[in-house]
């Protein structure tokens, strides 16, 4: 590589290696496509001790070579048919060309020089190939400052071209990713707005339905027969269920858009657990499930948003009832624990751990991390028989996140599941 004469006039091997390393580092750091093109051309010119370099890219669809060159702050695009000129020859044959005097070579297009007033002397032109060997571009270097391009120059340009190919591919991937991410974010925002609007719209007509059903049931507009009363009661329950779903959807959307703030205060968790347990009793007994309580009478107060914690408990109890077959058992229990030594602020007084166990269908281990994703259901095909939207646990997670805590899940398919939540104990007041 390189002889003594060359070392005197040109860069030594060590210097070339250093330049190559610098260029590789710079190239791999650049993810903006246009800036990368510019960087490759500038660095190649510097490393090759030449006058100028151009990286032409192959546009396979249009059968053209193109490049963007900086003119001051502007970028100008050049395009020509991919078989024309020296670059075209290299792009079609895949052969490197080292031309000491351009005007001696019939493939050289002198017209370009006439138009630009530039005088091309020597040319070194190298194909740029991607991983699978397809020619994706041509790297062309003009006018070696002293003498002509040597074998060592060819080797250096070869190395630069391979690096350029990798960097270009990365930048392209990065750009695609960035675009896809932008589109996804926009879609997500649209979905959020849609959900917010739809839940508001659904809520509005429900209010008069509930109002009138309740009025009819009160007997004020006139006496009801037993049959009418029992039919209206079914309507009332269904509407209340619908209202609950819409409230959850609205809460979810508000949380998702950061509109629902947690309002934490010291609060007795024991009575809340019992009240929630009582609320699911009718559905549990109807399904032939046993409900057990393991809540000690003297639980300390916790510092939480009671409304949101009540909602989260209801969503988890709802799942326990839904996913436990007849004859099963649901256990709701709670226990106070002292704070560990490294308790974070707000948790120095210890915590109450609330556990909800069921003997239901269970969740496969690899699906557990996903059940808190919005709209996710382990068996979407079974949705019709179980019902639900897949939003419940996503809302539970949002609520727990907002409280600085999380839900731990243990589950064995066919045996049952346990959901555990830790809530911070409030400072005991005198
Ligand atoms: N106690 C449970 N036992 C078994 N699977 C559960 C339980 N709780 C949740 N899952 C699984 O997690 C999924 C997500 O729950 P959730 O977000 O509440 O949605 P939904 O109840 O509307 O289906 C459920 O569809 C179910 O597959
Ligand atoms: Mg649910």
Closest to 85 measured CA to CA, from 59, 117, 53, 109: 109
Looking at the fold, whether 316 and 407 belong to one and the same domain comes out as: yes
CB distance 284 to 325 below 8 Å: no
pLDDT in tens, 317-335: 999 999 999 999 999 999 9
What CATH number is associated with residue 315? 3.30.565.10
Looking at the fold, whether 16 and 86 belong to one and the same domain comes out as: yes
Looking at the fold, whether 172 and 185 belong to one and the same domain comes out as: no
Domain end, chosen from 196, 228, 256, is at 256
Instruction: Look at the block and give the residue holding tokens 């007849």.
Output: 326
Looking at the fold, whether 26 and 109 belong to one and the same domain comes out as: yes
Q: Whose CA is nearest to atom 9 of ligand 1?
A: 319
Looking at the fold, whether 139 and 27 belong to one and the same domain comes out as: yes
- Å from CA of 244 to ligand 1 middle: 17
Q: Whose CA is nearest to atom 19 of ligand 1?
A: 390
Domain end, chosen from 152, 176, 200, is at 176
Closest to 141 measured CA to CA, from 127, 156, 125: 125
Answer whether residue 226 is part of any domain. yes
Along the 430 residues of the chain, how does pLDDT read in single tens digits? 444 444 434 667 787 788 888 888 888 888 888 888 888 899 899 889 999 999 999 999 999 999 987 666 667 888 989 889 999 999 999 999 999 999 999 999 998 888 888 899 999 999 999 989 999 999 999 999 988 999 999 999 999 999 889 888 888 888 888 899 999 999 888 887 888 888 888 888 988 999 999 999 999 999 999 999 999 999 998 898 888 888 888 888 887 777 778 899 999 999 999 999 999 999 999 999 999 999 998 899 999 999 999 999 999 999 999 999 999 999 999 999 999 999 898 899 999 999 999 999 999 999 999 999 988 888 877 655 777 778 899 999 999 999 999 999 999 999 999 999 999 999 876 5
Closest to 323 measured CA to CA, from 386, 375, 266: 386
Looking at the fold, whether 205 and 249 belong to one and the same domain comes out as: yes
18 three-state secondary structure: helix
Instruction: Find the domain containing 71 and state its range.
Output: 4-176
Looking at the fold, whether 164 and 129 belong to one and the same domain comes out as: yes
- Å from CA of 95 to ligand 2 middle: 65
Answer whether residue 57 is part of any domain. yes
Looking at the fold, whether 155 and 214 belong to one and the same domain comes out as: no
CB distance 371 to 385 below 8 Å: no
Q: Which ligand is nearest to the CA of 325?
A: 1
Looking at the fold, whether 196 and 102 belong to one and the same domain comes out as: no
Calpha distance 213→210 (Å, rounded)? 5
What CATH number is associated with residue 252? 1.10.287.130
Answer whether residue 430 is part of any domain. no
Looking at the 3D structure of the chain, how many domains does it have? 3
pTM: 0.59
Calpha distance 109→88 (Å, rounded)? 11
- Å from CA of 186 to ligand 1 middle: 28
Q: Whose CA is nearest to atom 27 of ligand 1?
A: 378
Looking at the fold, whether 250 and 151 belong to one and the same domain comes out as: no
Answer whether residue 115 is part of any domain. yes
Answer whether residue 112 is part of any domain. yes
Ligand 1: residues within 6 Å at CB?
Answer: 315, 319-320, 323, 358, 360-363, 371, 376-379, 388-394, 417
What CATH number is associated with residue 24? 3.30.450.40
Dihedral of the alpha carbons of 77, 79, 84, 90, in degrees to the nearest 10: 60
- Å from CA of 389 to ligand 2 middle: 7
Nearest atom of ligand 1 to the alpha carbon of 358: 1
Nearest atom of ligand 1 to the alpha carbon of 361: 4
Looking at the fold, whether 305 and 196 belong to one and the same domain comes out as: no
Answer whether residue 199 is part of any domain. yes
Looking at the fold, whether 124 and 109 belong to one and the same domain comes out as: yes
Domain end, chosen from 256, 287, 308, is at 256
Answer whether residue 74 is part of any domain. yes
> CA distances (Å), 295 to each of 262, 271, 279, in order?
25, 9, 16
Answer whether residue 233 is part of any domain. yes
Classify each residue of 314-344 as buried b or exposed e, where b means 16 or more C-beta atoms within 10 Å of its C-beta.
bbbbbbbbbbbeeebbbbbbbebeeeeeeee
């Amino acid at each position: 590589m390189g002889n003594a004469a060359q070392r005197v006039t040109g860069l030594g091997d060590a210097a070339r290696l250093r330049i190559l390393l610098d260029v590789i580092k710079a190239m791999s750091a650049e993810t903006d496509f246009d800036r990368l093109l510019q960087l490759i051309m500038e660095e190649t010119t510097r490393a090759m001790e030449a006058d100028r370099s151009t990286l032409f890219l192959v546009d396979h669809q249009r059968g053209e070579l193109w490049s963007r060159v900086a003119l001051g702050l502007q970028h100008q695009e050049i395009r020509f048919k991919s078989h024309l000129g020296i670059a075209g020859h290299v792009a079609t044959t895949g052969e490197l060309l080292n031309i000491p005097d351009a005007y001696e070579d019939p493939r050289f297009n002198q017209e370009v020089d006439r138009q630009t007033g530039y005088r091309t002397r020597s040319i070194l032109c190298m194909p740029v190939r991607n991983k699978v060997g397809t020619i994706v571009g041509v790297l062309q270097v003009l006018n070696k400052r002293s003498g002509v391009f040597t074998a060592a120059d060819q080797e250096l340009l070869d190395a630069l071209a391979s690096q350029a190919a990798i960097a270009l591919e990365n930048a392209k991937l990065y750009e695609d990713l960035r675009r896809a991410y932008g589109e996804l974010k926009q879609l997500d925002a649209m979905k959020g707005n849609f959900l917010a609007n739809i839940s508001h719209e659904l809520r509005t007509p429900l209010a008069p339905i509930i109002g009138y059903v309740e009025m009819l049931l009160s007997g004020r507009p006139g006496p009801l027969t037993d049959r009418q009363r029992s039919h209206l009661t079914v309507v009332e329950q269904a509407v209340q269920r619908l209202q609950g779903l819409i409230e959850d959807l609205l809460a979810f959307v508000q949380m998702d858009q950061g509109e629902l703030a947690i309002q934490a205060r010291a609060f007795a968790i024991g009575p809340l657990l019992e009240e929630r347990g009582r609320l699911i009793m009718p559905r549990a007994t109807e399904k032939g499930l046993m409900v057990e309580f393991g809540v000690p009478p003297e639980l300390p107060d916790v510092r939480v948003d009671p409304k949101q914690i009540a909602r989260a408990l209801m969503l988890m109890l709802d799942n326990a009832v839904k996913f436990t077959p007849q004859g099963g058992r649901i256990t709701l229990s709670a226990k106070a624990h002292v704070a560990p030594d490294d308790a974070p602020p707000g948790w120095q007084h210890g915590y109450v751990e609330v556990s909800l166990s069921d003997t239901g269908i269970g969740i496969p281990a690899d699906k557990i991390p996903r059940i808190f994703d919005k709209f996710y259901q382990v068996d979407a095909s079974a949705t019709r028989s179980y019902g639900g939207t897949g939003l419940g646990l996503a809302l539970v997670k949002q609520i727990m996140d907002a409280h600085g805590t999380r839900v731990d899940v243990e589950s064995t398919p066919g045996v049952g599941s346990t959901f555990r939540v830790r809530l911070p104990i409030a400072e005991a007041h005198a």
